[in-house]
Amino acid sequence: MKNGVVQSGSANIYYELYGEENDNVLVLLHGNGESGRSFKKHIEILKDKYKLLVIDSRGHGKSEFGKAQLSLGTMSVDLVNVIEHLGIEKVSIAGFSDGANIAMITAIKNQDLIDKLVLIGGNYNIHGFKPGTEIMLRVGYWCSCLGAFISPVNRFNKEYFSLMVKEPDLKREALSVIKAKTLVINGSKDMIKTSHARAIANTVQGAELKIVDGDHFWIYRKPEEACDVIDEFLSE
């Protein structure tokens, strides 16, 4: 395993690289409030078949926040900067939750960089959440704003909530420019609406939709099954 940091704007972004002898590069992107270590079981399963690039998104894990407020767009720029720093010309991405959203943004803005996309529990705007979840997130955000007003120490909690409430804010039609072959995965009991996942799959040209038996965290609850699904799609 090789690891290091890449300077991206005002932050150092931490990465780990596994299976360097393999040719096919697969980037694993974690969700909100997590880190690349969330994929430790997946890494063990996939590292013998893929060159795995695992990144801690800005403000998560071992990556710095930098000077600006967190945003998925900035995280997408960070991702591209790490890929280019490592001299990698083309990648596939498996992103979970906010990781899927970062993957969508990256695929829209860097169409020739992405070969295949696996979008797990992603959403292109807040209305992709089921109503109860959306209400809870909005309440959590306003509570975090109050906490940040009372004490600057709580600013980071506010920024994490902001990523879910204010972002992503994509127009559905923006997804139609994605060139990468795409698999959209949503749990049967997911906090993301099945109709929203279907809208993503129907908008990205040629995308497939797979509904799996599980909740939003299916990828972590069933890592072997998740890796099989990802590997089967990437091997097509």
pLDDT tens for each residue of the chain, 236 residues long: 999 999 999 999 999 999 989 999 999 999 999 999 999 999 999 999 999 999 999 999 999 999 988 999 999 999 999 999 999 999 999 999 999 999 999 999 999 999 999 999 999 999 999 999 999 999 998 988 888 778 776 677 889 989 999 999 999 999 999 999 999 999 999 999 999 999 999 999 999 999 999 999 999 999 999 999 999 999 98
Q: Are residues 179 and 230 in the same domain?
A: yes
Q: Are residues 120 and 131 in the same domain?
A: no
Judgement on whether residues 120 and 133 belong to the same structural domain of the protein: no
- Claim to verify: residue 64 and residue 158 sit in the same structural domain: no
Pick the last residue of a domain from 108, 141, 167. Answer: 167
Please indicate, yes or no, whether residues 60 and 153 belong to a single structural domain of this protein. no
Predicted pLDDT at 148: 75
Domain co-membership, 141 together with 209:
no
Do 104 and 66 fall into the same domain? yes
pLDDT of 155: 74
**Overall number of domains in the chain:** 2
Strand partners, 221: none
Q: What is the span of the domain harbouring residue 209?
A: 2-124+171-234
**Are 64 and 177 found together in one domain?**
yes
* 113 and 154 in a common domain: no
Whether residues 110 and 199 share a domain: the answer is yes
User: Are residues 82 and 13 part of one domain?
Assistant: yes
Choose among 27, 66, 82: nearest CA to 159. 66
pTM equals 0.95
3-state secondary structure the chain: CEEEEEEECCEEEEEEEECCCCCCEEEEECCCCCCHHHHHHHHHHHCCCCEEEEECCCCCCCCCCCCCCCCHHHHHHHHHHHHHHCCCCCEEEEEECHHHHHHHHHHHHCCCCEEEEEEECCCCCHHHECHHHHHHHHHHHHHHHHHHHHCHHHHHHHHHHHHHHCCCCCCHHHHHHCCCEEEEEEECCCCECHHHHHHHHHHCCCCEEEEECCCCCHHHHCHHHHHHHHHHHHCC
CATH number, position 62: 3.40.50.1820
109 and 179 belong to one structural domain: yes
